[in-house]
Amino acid sequence: MIHQLKEAMPTPHATHTSVPESSVPESAVPENTESNPSMRTTPRHVPLAEQTRDGLVESIHYGSLIAVGPNGETLLEAGEPDAAFYPRSSLKPLQAVAMVRAGLKLPENLLALTAASHSGAAMHLEGTARILEMHGLDESVLENSTDLPYGTAEREEWLRAGGKPTQLAQNCSGKHASMAATCVINGWPVQGYLRPEHPLQMLVRDTITELTGEDAAAVSTDGCGTPLFAHSLHGMARAYGRLAAADNKTAEGQVAHAMRAYPEMVAGEGRDVTAIMRALPGLLAKDGFEGLQLIGLRNGTGVAIKISDGGDRARMPVTVGVLEALGLDGGQLAALASPPVLGGGHPVGVLRATNFLASN
C-alpha cells in the first residue's frame, strides 16, 4: 500500500586484553531469531523506480520508503516501512554519535571519516592512520575485514601500484579506527572491540535504540565485522531527522555538522552521497549496502529508502523523487535524478523514480 500525508568521562589508556567471556550476560544481546515468523515474512515492497528504453519499461525496482516529520508525523510512505531490515552502513553516523558520547574528540574531517564508507583515497587512508596515531595505536589493532579501496578510480590506482587488500583500505576503516580509539579513551579493552558484549558495542546498541525509538528486531554481523542491528525504515528516518536538527553542542549535532562540512570524507569524489550534500547545503546523507539511502533535513525531517533487490542504481533517483515530493528543488539534483540509458552510445531511455505517491 502507498499512502500520503497522515495526521561518560574519559579514563586512562587501555591495555590490549580480551573482553572476559562473563562480562555481560547473554540476555543483554538481542537474539537473532530465524524462527520468528515476522522476520521471515517478505516485506510488501512496491515499484519505486523504472528503467525505460525507447518508451518501453524494461526494468522495475521495488522497495519501501518513508519520510518522517520533526514531530514524528508520517509525511509520505510507500511499501512497508515498518518492516525490520538491516541498515548496514547507514548506521555509521549513529555509531559515531555513541563514540562522541563516550569521549571521542576528533577534528571535524576525521569525525566525518568515522561515519564514512570512504572510497579509499589518500585523504581517507591518511585520516584513518591519523586517528590511530592520535591514540597511540596502529593498523595492527583494526579488526575489520580486508578489502581493496571502494572507489573505482582509487581501486584501479591501488592495483596499478601493486596494492593488496588491507584493513586500512577497506571502506569502514575510519569507523574501526575510531572504535579502537574510543576504547583507549575509556580504558576498555581494544582487542575484541567488535564483540557484541564489549562495552563499546553495548553503548552503540543503546544509542541506536534511543535515536530510532525502537529496540533492535534482530542482530547479525555487518560485512566489516561490526555488530549489525535490525530496525525499521520508520525508526531510521526518525534517527536521521534527530541528527540533522540537533544542536552542534550535542554529540548528534557534532556528527551531523562534521559530515556536512566534509562530505568528501563521508564518501569520496565522484560519489553520489558526496554530491548530494554539496548540492543541497544542510542536507545530511548516508548510503548503505543493499540499496539503502538515509537523509536528514535541518528542520528535523528524516527520509529512509530501501531498494528491495539490493542494487545501487535506483537508490539516488528514488531519493531525488522523495526530496522533490517534500518540496525541495530537484533541479539542483538533475544529474542524480534520471541517469540516461544508452544504446549505441546515445541516450535511448532513462532510469527514473515511479509515481510512488499515486493511490492504489
Strands 231-232 vs 84-85: parallel, antiparallel or unpaired? antiparallel
- Residue 204's SS3 state is helix
What is the tens place of the pLDDT at every residue in 41-68? 789 999 999 999 999 999 999 999 999 9
| Percent above pLDDT 70 for the chain | 88
Confidence band for 268, pLDDT divided at 50, 70 and 90: very high
Alpha-carbon span 125 to 137, nearest angstrom: 15
H/E run at residue 236: helix 233-245
Position 3 pLDDT exceeds 50: no
Residues 153-197 pLDDT 10s: 999 999 999 999 999 999 999 999 999 999 999 999 999 999 999
Is residue 256 within 8 Å of 244, Cβ to Cβ? yes
Cell output for 159: 592495483
Query: Taking a C-beta distance cutoff of 8 angstroms, is the pair 119, 269 a contact?
Result: yes
3-state SS, residue 124: helix
pLDDT score, position 360: 37
Q: Sorting pLDDT into bands at 50, 70 and 90, what band is 8? A: very low
Q: In whole numbers, what is the pLDDT of the chain averaged over residues?
A: 89
| Domain residue spans of the chain | 2-353
> pLDDT (tens digit, 9 = 90+) per residue, 82-101?
999 999 999 999 999 999 99
First to last CA, the chain: 7
Q: How far apart are CA 278 and CA 162, in angstroms?
A: 33
pLDDT over 60 at 36, yes or no:
no
Tens of pLDDT, residue by residue over 289-316, are 999 999 999 999 999 999 999 999 999 9
The answer to whether 126 and 133 are in contact (CB under 8 A) is no
